[in-house]
Structure 1
Amino acid sequence: MGLRFGYGTNGFTHHRLSDVLGVLADLGYDGVALTLDHNHLDPYADDLDRQVATVGQQLAKLGLTVTVETGAPYFLDPWGKHQPTLMSGRPERRVELLRRAVRIAAGLGSPSVQLCSGPTPDDIPEAEAWRRLAAGVGAVLETAEAYGVALAFEPEPHMFVDTIGKCLRLRELLGGHELFGVTLDIGHAHCVEEPSLLDCVDLAAPHLLNVQIEDMVRGVHRHLEFGAGEIDFPPVLAALTDLGHRGLVSVEIQGGALDAPDIARSSLEFLRRAEARSLLAS
């Protein structure tokens, strides 16, 4: 079986969620990376249970799988990007949001919830930041255990945890918890990692839950359409195929919301061509 491609709802911010799902299904995507946000399944909506049931029914009807993501930058603080974090002095709202995301994921049938560390705090020592981060993730893992949902931690450029190595260090601090895994973003890895992309795939492989994909330029954290950056995709897709990755490989191009249907169409066409070339090369 080939790779299973999805698309992130954070690239469809001008669409209703129900319309996003319909467009992606019509284009032939296998799934959706659903970012919980004010306009897409708000975790604090008064009728949240009804919305979750409705979205779950539509996903099933359309044959789409789903992963839940929590990277909406201004969801909790309209002034502070990704604030508060799990390393903040008062992380309770972030912990509660992640717990809600776990419950939503369980209701939708998503096997995992994506999360990231947030920016590096400038007012505490690094050791204290690690302690707070591990404590916060540990608190969310208690809810994850109750619902059987994994946490798929994503390294992000310019954040405290920005590499796979640091993500694996966090896993060690959590005692190697079986419900803690990795979201590998191919563009992020190209942007900041010292190892090659193929080495990054190998490093993440034992704990890989989700993959996000887009083009990018080394050292510049900007999600680009395929072909606009520097990444050679067929070898990366071949590596994911070889390790038997069965989670989604989800396109994440947030800046293309005004042309979202066209970008989603061209992205899937590009990935299918790249996958075909990777299979021919092997």
Structure 2
Amino acid sequence: MAGLVAAAVVLPVSAAASPDVPAPAPAAVAEGAALPDRYGANRANLAEAAAMAREAGRTGRAAKLEAMGAAGTARFLAFDGRGQGRAVEVLGDLESADRIAVLVPGSDTTLDTYQRFRAGALALQQRLLAGHPRSAVVAWLGYDTPGTVSPTVLSADRADAAAAELGPFLDRLGRTAAPGARLSLLCHSYGSVVCARTATGPAVTDMALFGSPGTGAGSAAELPTGARVWAGRGGADWIGRVPHVRLGGLGFGTDPVDPAFGARPFTAGPGGHSDYLRPGTASLDSLARIVLGTTPAVPTTPEVPHA
């Protein structure tokens, strides 16, 4: 795992510093450091970032960071408390897992909203462990997500930058995971735009797009991956009412749940845009089945894209 965890530090170094959120530079860890040493260094860096934020009167950010490190056992491959922040957290035993899900979040996911993202990752891990003890989830907040209400969420600029980081990370993860490990890429909302631009190697067996605004591609066959591509959308997800068009550099075109896109459908239940990873939901069960390599339930009627 040394190559993977050493290279993970590249992610947070690129995060934009902000004078409004004082934080230390990311932890410097030797290239060959063992996972426990890397986890420990990033926990210490997180604690220092929390202390600096509190001392500067940024109590909201300080409380968020303190919550991230509250258990004292969090496993971060990467952490950067500057600006919006970056964090790559491992839930489970990465070295022994042969089913690994990499969860890529969408817009408005920052260190200030991290607990919401982590709650979904934890729910997924618990569901996976119920069916397969050798499972792990990587919560990959490795990019500056756009705001939901902002011009950046309509373009692929942030996604292109994120894909340039995510692709090499997945390659390293695939080379250093347990022999025969299956890697699945689970991509929510704008995260599906990121995944659709990420070139994946043979270790990534499945890519699931959920709550997607589109990918910028006309079909699943156009994506730079050999993985099986899945798509699902909750019945109450507002993103189904967003026009799936592309005008110049704005918008993302074909709806991934449209049968014409060519993705494999999975049942996502009646939930809304933020409900896909809630415990007990059909969507969580479907995503877990995809990660485990079993067949998820499919919609009883084909999903029809909204106008």
Question: TM class, shorter-chain normalised?
Answer: 0.3 to 0.5
Give me the TM-score of the superposition, normalised by structure 2.
0.35
Q: Between the two structures, name the one with larger relative contact order (CA 8 Å, sep ≥ 6).
A: 1
